[in-house]
Amino acid sequence: MRPPSRAAGLLIRHVFSPVSPAVVHVRFRSGFKARRSNLDEYPDVPWQTTRIVDNSPPAPLWPAAPRPIPVTELPAYLASRVSNWSDSHTVQTRLIRFGVPPQDVRKALMRFASAMRSENVFEQLGYDAEQLERMSVDVADRNNFHPLDVTLTRLFYEWASHPKSEHSLQSVLPDSTFRTIRTLFRTVDLTNQAARHVHTRTTRPCRKIIMHVGPTNSGKTHNALRALAAAKKGCYAGPLRLLAHEIYMRLNQGQIVPLQIVPLGVDPSPAEPDPATNLEGVDTEGRAVVRKEGDERYARQCNLLTGEEQIILDPEAPLLSCTVEMVPLLQFRDVLVIDEIQMLADPERGTAWTSAVLGANAAELHLCGEEASVPLVQAILRDTGDEIIVNRYERLSPLKVGDSALESLKDIRKGDCVVAFSRSTIFAFRKIKRIIFSQVRKSDGQRDHLLTPPQIKQIAGRAGRFGLHGDDTGGIVTTLLRGDLHILVAAMAYPVSPIRYARIRPDAELEMKIEGLLPPKSSYLTYSEVLHYVSKVDPCYEVQSLATEEAAARAVASVTGRGSVSEEELILLRQAPVPWRNPLATKCGAEFIRFFQSHVFVDVRQALNAGGLLPKLLKAMELSKIQDPSTISEQDMKEVFLSLYDLETVHRMLCSYSWLNYRLPVGFGDGRVARQLKRDTEFVISWCLRELSRRGYTGRTQKRPEGFGSSFPRKPTGNDFGFGKTTRRRSGPFNPFLHDERKKSKR
């Protein structure tokens, strides 16, 4: 093949822009770039150079938040935007949904806009410096209309409800409209959250709050757990059923050494720490907090209470282990341990942590978590009279970033943990020496985002757990892909940023009051809009995200149309842990509601069958009972493997049924059958995975393994398990499990 001539029509233009970096462009007579293979064939041809490397500083991995508007400039800034806001059709139709008569909306907004331009509204409303600073942060992004919309809508309702604005509005609005605006605002005034827990403020005017803060593997939980084990009446509240169940087991078996029984943490009978614990198993001196073997001298009777499971050994048992959402706030406890306290800022679950911190009737609260939570906890407890003690801990064993990325899974060795991301972060809590990030991005269901530095640090901190390795030289964290290593390095060096807001939400009683103030046939989405756009909160709080419940509300409304289902029951149905974005789960959840509405009693087997899930479970159960799995046909095994996704949905729906069984025991009274089916599903899933591994279907030919792409993955196909022809994607997220094959294909 002859090399192309310079006279072939190629024209080189050097363009040097004063704004952008210098770039060399190549134009071809055909309008198309030359084939890569042709360019590689003639490496000495000078016209091949296509681009000069851009040496400008790289964009930050985690962009800084917009700079807040100076407080002194805030009134003028809002006044300059209020006219466009009040003219917005979106704003006007929203007020109509909130109950303002259409003919009065425009007049009310014009009066408010005039007041913003000519009066000192903030002085009239009595805003202090902290409130103005919060508002300046909220509207800092001048290119984003939404936070400005929220801020001005809240200001409008507060201004319109203030006594000094009454005369101005009554001259243009009828009394009924004025009362509608004022009543809605006063109902959703969520300020002074601590005072809402009347029982605790009355019986426990001064609690002792002990914060144990530090990084993972710092021993921050050991004093809290020992105080719990020694308490006359105590409770552990954690973020996961797994942790609650482990505390329940270990307290009953005497594996946690009580603090008072063993003064200063010195165990008269030294024991080996349990490497299988999900907790920090040793104290700052390397002594066992969670013992590998139980000791009956330390055994304490403890009950278990989670959303889906209750194990009551004795109604009068002194100790309780539960998830944070299930903490009995009114029952007195000498000691309450709340784990992962930074979760009070979580958009969807944070309200449970906030309620527990503010409302727990306990003499002594131990809050374990990250340093970033300290300022926020101090802020929300500022006016309660509680005593706050902060104990800070440092990591017990060193943690360093590896010198290089792993690049291939062939280099995995014993003690490694490869972290991947699917519907939830996969943590490994066992005896891990090295953490390897297969990727540093996670999907939110719409697109992939970089993990935040706190997320990376928490996962990386699991490496090299103190006291569980003979040499205790520390842990190593690295990445699978070379291009991700610099992101990991930057995240580990990222400074700690305090979390800003604790999440709150109205209780069921207040929710029904709000819905009663809205126009007839208003949807749950309108209720969630009221919370978001009207409610007034203190600067250290934010209303909990209701995105998950909004999806549930759409599904519930499409089935019930309210009908014979009461408001209280609707609230519970919306809050049930059904994965409403999953079409199979949505169909089965709809069957739960239909049976509940039409028959009152929901037969779990019939509902699963109507939802199309029961036949898949029964088929897998039938095959799992065969003594010799090798006799099962390839076609049957293929069907079972392809149903793993459906079996997981079965399990989640049975968990949801159990959750409803504890809250609506008459309508969802098939709890015993549901729990047995749940155990059967767990057995079948384990059997499927064992057979998957035994037959060599490891997923190496998978197009897109779960966690590399959408956070809600597609249903698996035969290619994922080695059945049929392999198809390799040429675009989309990189799959490290195909790393070696792709390297070969490029050669």
- The H-or-E segment that residue 361 falls in is none
Distances in Å between the Cα of 540 and the Cα atoms of 339, 381, 537, 572 are 21, 11, 8, 28
Output the pLDDT for position 282.
52
52 touches 22 (CB < 8 A) = yes
Please report the DSSP string for 727-740 in residue order: ---SSSS--GGGHH
Asked if the model's pLDDT at residue 134 lies above 90, the reply is: yes
Across the chain, mean pLDDT equals 79
* CB neighbours of residue 447 within 10 Å: 8
Which of the four pLDDT bands, split at 50, 70 and 90, describes residue 257?
confident
pLDDT at 279: 59
The whole-angstrom separation of Cα 442 and Cα 419 is: 11
Q: What is the pLDDT, as a whole number, of residue 24?
A: 43
Residue, of 62 and 463, whose pLDDT is higher = 62
pLDDT of residue 507: 85
Q: What's the rounded mean pLDDT across residues 266-270? A: 53
Write down the domain spans for the chain.
Answer: 6-48, 71-187, 195-392, 545-737
Inform me whether the pLDDT recorded for 733 exceeds 50.
Answer: no
The average pLDDT across 684-697 equals: 78
Q: How many residues does the chain have?
A: 747
pTM summary value: 0.76
- Kindly give the interhelix angle for 524-533 and 89-97, rounded to the nearest 10 degrees: 120
Query: How far from 190 is each of 133, 505, 538, CA to CA, in Å?
Result: 19, 8, 8
Average pLDDT estimate for 735-745: 40
Q: Which of 48-62, 167-181, 333-347, 631-645 has the highest mean pLDDT?
A: 333-347
Supply the pLDDT for residue 170.
83
pLDDT for the residue 396: 67
Tell me what pLDDT residue 445 has.
59
**3-state SS class at 368:** strand
CB atoms within 10 A of CB 367: 26
pLDDT of the residue at 669: 94
Tokens for 505, please give them: 């939400």
Is residue 425's pLDDT more than 50?
no
24-38, 226-240, 413-427, 557-571: segment of lowest average pLDDT: 24-38
The partner residues of 436 in beta bridges, in order of sequence, read: 418, 478
Report pLDDT digits (tens) over 321-346. Answer: 999 999 999 999 999 999 999 999 99
pLDDT of residue 55: 56
660: pLDDT strictly greater than 90: yes
pLDDT tier, 284 (very low <50, low <70, confident <90, very high otherwise): low
According to DSSP, residue 725 is labeled -
691-723 pLDDT per residue, tens:
877 766 544 433 333 333 333 334 444 444 444
Considering the domain delimited by 195-392, tell me its CATH architecture: 3-Layer(aba) Sandwich (3.40)
269-283, 383-397, 443-457, 522-536, range with the lowest pLDDT:
269-283
Which has more confidence, 639 or 315?
Answer: 315
What is residue 567's predicted lDDT score, i.e. its pLDDT?
80
Rounded-to-integer distance, Cα 409 and Cα 61, Å:
26
Structure tokens at 403: 């010198």
Res. 738: pLDDT tops 80? no
Pick from 373-377, 404-408, 464-468, 545-549 the range whose average pLDDT is largest: 373-377
Question: What is the pLDDT, as a whole number, of residue 230?
Answer: 93
User: Roughly what angle, to the nearest 10 degrees, separates helices 145-161 and 74-87?
Assistant: 90
CA 74 → CA 116, 146, 536, distances in Å? 11, 17, 18
CB 415, CB 247: distance < 8 Å: no
Residue scoring higher pLDDT (289 or 732)? 289
User: Does residue 264 have a pLDDT over 60?
Assistant: no
In this structure, what DSSP letter does residue 105 have? H
> Is the confidence at residue 49, as pLDDT, over 60?
no
CA torsion angle for 638, 640, 641, 646 (degrees, to 10)?
140
Would you state the pLDDT for residue 597?
87
Average pLDDT over residues 660-665: 92
Cβ neighbours of residue 548 under 8 Å, at least 6 residues apart?
348, 580
pLDDT (tens digit per residue) in 486-526: 888 888 888 777 889 999 988 888 888 998 999 998 888 89
pLDDT at 43: 44
- Type of residue numbered 37: S
* Three-state SS at 165: helix
Exposure pattern of 188-218 as b/e (b: 16+ CB <10 Å)?
A: bebeebbebbeebbeebeebebbbbbbbbbb
pLDDT tens-digit readout, 367-390: 999 999 999 999 999 989 899 999
Residues 6+ apart with CB under 8 A from 294: 250, 253, 254, 255
Q: Hey, what amino acid is at 722?
A: G
Rounded Cα distance between 69 and 137, Å, is 7
**Is 50 exceeded by the pLDDT of residue 628?**
yes
Task: Compute the half-sphere exposure of residue 483: CA atoms within 13 Å on the CB side of its CA.
Answer: 4
3-class DSSP state for residue 706? coil
